[in-house]
Amino acid sequence: MAAAVAAADAAGRVIRPFFRGSVAADLKADQSPVTIADRSAEQAMRAELNRLCPECGILGEEFGLERPEARLRWVLDPIDGTRAFITGRPTFGTLVALLDGDSPVVGIIDQPVTGERWVGAVGRPTQFAGPLGGQVGTRACADLAHAELSCTSPEMLGDDLPRWQKVAALVRRNYWGGDCYAYGLLALGQIDVIVECDLKPWDWAALLPVIHGAGGLVTDWQGNPPRTDGDGRIIAVGDPALLPHVVRALG
């Protein structure tokens, strides 16, 4: 846990000076943007984790996999929500996860500009600290008709948009945007359901311990635990009673 916190701290020190500055964005092979802040923050995180946990593997969005043979593996996304970052919106975050095999056991969502941080670990209640208010705990909402739905963008849904729209038709409201920050808000009881596609392990691994420790669930679209070799379709619910309704609507 101390190593995860140290990695998040290291990323924040790098990211904050770049926020709302003149930061150029390059396009990666998948046409997603990347900046010097993304790359420099991941390098700082790797340096910290290699110092503190030299036996662990590291998988990061920007620089790939180190020590693939290690059973314990750090999974890093230095800036989840680069589009938000380069447009000056504080709805991005740094994600730090520790996997034991295929299972996330530690997760941090850190917003380095607002100073908000969610820390989750298997078997422990999620901890949250930040100056903007809020308390950890998903809200009771067993009926989709009263649920607040969130999704980062319609573009991420691709051919799955018609399936997603079946869920959207059943909820009270939908909101676009948020990236990992929306999952932090779900852990605070502000959002009830998130349904997304095309997520990589570094996008979702840190979210599981945070949301589970706040009383919610994160699964794939079939309601099963996500896998690092899965299809990237993710459901998060604050009230576990919502899950079968979401899975049925997506079916």
Would you state the pLDDT for residue 127? 98
pLDDT tens, 124-137?
A: 999 999 999 999 99
3-state SS class at 76 = strand
pLDDT at 31 over 80: no
Its pTM stands at: 0.96
Closest CA to 236 of 167, 161, 166, 160: 167
| CATH top class, domain 144-250 | alpha beta
% helix, strand, coil for the chain, step of 5: 35, 30, 35
- Spatial separation of the C-alpha atoms in residues 153 and 235, rounded to whole Å: 15
87-108: average pLDDT: 97
Would you state the pLDDT for residue 28? 83
Q: Which fold has domain 2-129?
A: Fructose-1,6-Bisphosphatase; Chain A, domain 1 (3.30.540)
pLDDT band at 249 (very low <50, low <70, confident <90, very high): very high
Would you state the pLDDT for residue 44? 98
pLDDT tens, 177-234?
A: 999 999 999 999 999 999 999 999 999 999 999 999 999 999 999 999 999 999 999 9
Task: Work out the burial of residue 232: count CB atoms within 10 Å of its CB; fewer than 13 is exposed, 13-18 middle, 19 or more buried.
Answer: middle
> For all residues of the chain together, what is the average pLDDT?
96
Q: So where are the chain's domains? A: 2-129, 144-250
What b-and-e string marks burial along 212-229, b requiring 16 or more CB atoms within 10 Å of the CB? bbbbbbbbbbeeeebebe
Gyration radius from the chain CA atoms: 17
pLDDT band at 26 (very low <50, low <70, confident <90, very high): confident
pLDDT tens, 75-86?
A: 999 999 999 999
Cβ atoms of 192 and 114 within 8 Å: the answer is no
